[in-house]
Amino acid sequence: MPLIVHQHSKAHLYSFRGLIYFRDLVDLRSTPVTASTPTPRVAVAFHSGYGHTAVLAEAVRRGAEKAGAEVAFIPVDAITDEQWAQLDAADAIVFGSPTYMGGASAGFHAFAEATSGRYLTSTWADKIAAGFTNSASKSGDKLNALNFMTALAAQHHMIWVGLGLAPGWNALTATEDDLNRLGFWLGAGAQTPQDGGTETVHSSDIATAGHLGARVAVQARIRVAGTSALAA
Ligand SMILES: Cc1cc2nc3c(=O)[nH]c(=O)nc-3n(C[C@H](O)[C@H](O)[C@H](O)COP(=O)(O)O)c2cc1C
């Protein structure tokens, strides 16, 4: 059955085998931004051993900034006291790690363990959380790294935001250049050849990470605005 793509003012819909899928339901223009809408603060807290995951972290940062957030960019293996304070002040934290040995990297785990004091005091409760990871193999057991990030977020009583994209590259007319080409829902998953430089991070994966950053910024804005409205 052919893939039928419908254009819609707020969403791109496509149907496949009789099912309707929504692509990119987050239309940034549909979120009203007024002078009184507070600027959401998003932090990108990531580890990258060889620079690939850092390219995705940059894309998350750019996506969040384009969606109007103020972004703190935090490589967690060199985190400073000032950056811990930025995490505490953030409305949303996007976690990022390469997948090493079928899970998050030791550098990311060291950071996660260092958050245990904040776990005890629920310092990060009700902040929005999301995650991204990168590995050399198409699967590479990346999902375990994202699962760890969701558990970390849940232990902190954070609110997990998934990728919000339909899976790409999964039909005859689909291509490797689709957004979400690796078909993740929990977060953004990327694949980079292990012997490639940072310039070999796939453009679709960069765009997908950018989408995640924008989505988190929009959701953080809605939450901040809603919390202020309820308090008024
Ligand atoms: C110690 C180590 C373990 C790795 N384990 C995996 C793995 O389980 N699955 C996989 O697909 N790639 C694995 N890789 C490859 C990395 O995920 C890949 O090279 C990734 O792009 C590295 O990201 P980075 O440059 O941000 O460190 C591993 C690499 C290293 C150094």
- Asked whether 208 lines ligand 1 (CB < 6 A), one says no
List pLDDT tens digits, range 9-40. 333 444 444 333 334 444 444 555 565 678 99
Instruction: Show the DSSP H helices in 96-183 as ranges.
Output: 106-114, 116-121, 142-155
What local confidence, expressed as pLDDT, does residue 31 receive? 55
- Cβ neighbours of residue 135 closer than 8 Å, sequence gap 6 or more: 98, 99, 141, 142, 145, 190, 191, 192
When mean pLDDT is compared across 7-16, 31-40, 65-74, 146-155, the lowest value belongs to: 7-16
Give me 90's structure tokens.
């953030």
Q: Distance (Å, rounded) from C-alpha 207 to C-alpha 183?
A: 14
Neighbours of 43 (CB within 10 A): 26
- Asked whether 102 lines ligand 1 (CB < 6 A), one says yes
CATH code at 38-231:
3.40.50.360
Report, as an integer, the average pLDDT of 171-175.
97
Average pLDDT of the residues of the chain? 89
- Determine the residue type at 23: R
Which atom in ligand 1 lies closest to the alpha carbon of residue 98?
23
Question: Which residue's alpha carbon is at the smallest distance from atom 10 of ligand 1?
Answer: 140
Which atom in ligand 1 lies closest to the alpha carbon of residue 137?
11
Question: Which residue's alpha carbon is at the smallest distance from atom 30 of ligand 1?
Answer: 100
List pLDDT tens digits, range 118-143. 999 999 999 999 999 999 999 999 99
- Asked whether 215 lines ligand 1 (CB < 6 A), one says no
- Asked whether 141 lines ligand 1 (CB < 6 A), one says yes
**Rounded to two decimals, what is the model's pTM?**
0.89
- Asked whether 229 lines ligand 1 (CB < 6 A), one says no
Q: Distance (Å, rounded) from C-alpha 69 to C-alpha 135?
A: 28
What local confidence, expressed as pLDDT, does residue 37 receive? 78
Question: Which residue's alpha carbon is at the smallest distance from atom 5 of ligand 1?
Answer: 100
